[in-house]
Homo-oligomer: A and B are copies of this chain.
Amino acid sequence: MYNPWLEGLIKNALEEDVGSGDLTSCGVVEASLTGEGKIYAREAGVVAGLEVARKVFQVVDPGVQFTPYFKDGDRVERGDSVALVSGALLSLLTAERTALNFLQRMSGIASVTREFCDLLGDSGVQLLDTRKTTPGLRFLEKYAVRAGGGRNHRFGLYDGVLIKENHIVAAGGVKKALQKVKGSVPVTVKIEIEVTSMEQLREALQEGPDIIMLDNWDVEKLEEAVRLARGKAKLEVSGEVTRERLKEIISAGVDYVSSGYLTHTSGILNFSFLLLKENAKR
């Protein structure tokens, strides 16, 4: 699957870490040595980013072999080795940290996403991400959300319309905002609007948006919103997501629940790279 941004992203990350050179490895390790190591999971979770880790090693040295034992989206247990990496020892040591930095963050996101999805179960409510991502890493973080079982909201300002409170004020109301935007954007993107009251919801429904976002509505209002919107627009609930809140959301019967937490506070899933001792002369 071709992504035109990945290679540049990896090169930037290596430039940031390696700069004028890996002083330690170049100073200590003979260039002729080869070796192999394994990437181990230090905690249980969902792995994501194995192909990114592979590419980090191979940008450093195309001769490195990377054999994954899992695929993105798989569940791993503490102690599982997720990939075998072999090649010039110098290359392995130079690339290791950058490879893990990607893998750990992506797997952290996938793991949290999977937890949330499990709570949603077969309720039919879909878990969405947001634009609250790490600058520069959005496409990887949204990939990790998919690997964890979530679904993507728009990638940026360019591939979806989301009219928020500030836009409504600037446009002079819900109706005007929707009317203006309907005729001007590409015909291939959907139109979503965030409403803060039942009146705004009714006003919005008259203009036929594709999705309506409800931020922190309580469960009674959610249920009424579902009745009003049925067959007319999808409903998305945003705001803090707890186990109890999810139950309410499920019972209300909305379509989507979105959470910035998945990408901005997920933390990492911890991996380590351990060199196997048997190194051989090249």
Identify the A interface with B (CB < 8 A). Answer: 1-5, 9-31, 33, 35, 37, 60-61, 89-91, 93-95, 97-98, 100-102, 104-105, 126, 128, 131-139, 142, 146, 151-164, 166-167, 169-171, 177, 180-181, 183-190, 192, 211, 234, 236, 256, 264-265, 267-268, 275, 277, 279
Contact = CB atoms under 8 A, between A and B. Distances in A.
A277 B165 CA distance: 11
Given A93-B167, A186-B153, A189-B23, A2 B137 contact: no
Contacts of A138: 16-17, 20
B135 A101 contact: yes
13 contacts: A4-B15, A19-B157, A21-B157, A28-B170, A29-B170, A30-B170, A37-B166, A104-B132, A146-B184, A153-B186, A187-B256, A190-B190, A264-B268
A111 to B, nearest CB: 13
Given A1-B21, A5-B20, A265-B267, 14 more contacts: A2-B95, A19-B158, A20-B158, A21-B157, A27-B180, A28-B181, A89-B170, A102-B135, A105-B134, A154-B186, A159-B160, A159-B186, A169-B279, A187-B234
B20 A185 contact: no
A63 to B, nearest CB: 11
> How many subunits of this chain does the assembly comprise?
6
A24, A126, A160, A279: residue with the most chain B Cβ atoms closer than 10 Å: A24
Contact of A28 (B11, B89, B177, B190): B177
A61, A133, A189, A268: residue with the most chain B Cβ atoms closer than 10 Å: A189
A13 B2 CA distance: 14
A4, A95, A132, A133: residue with the most chain B Cβ atoms closer than 10 Å: A4
Given A21-B158, A28-B170, A135 B137 contact: yes
Contact of A153 (B60, B188, B264): B188
A220 B38 CA distance: 32
A159 B161 CA distance: 11
B264 A136 contact: no
B157 A13 contact: no
Contacts of A236: 187
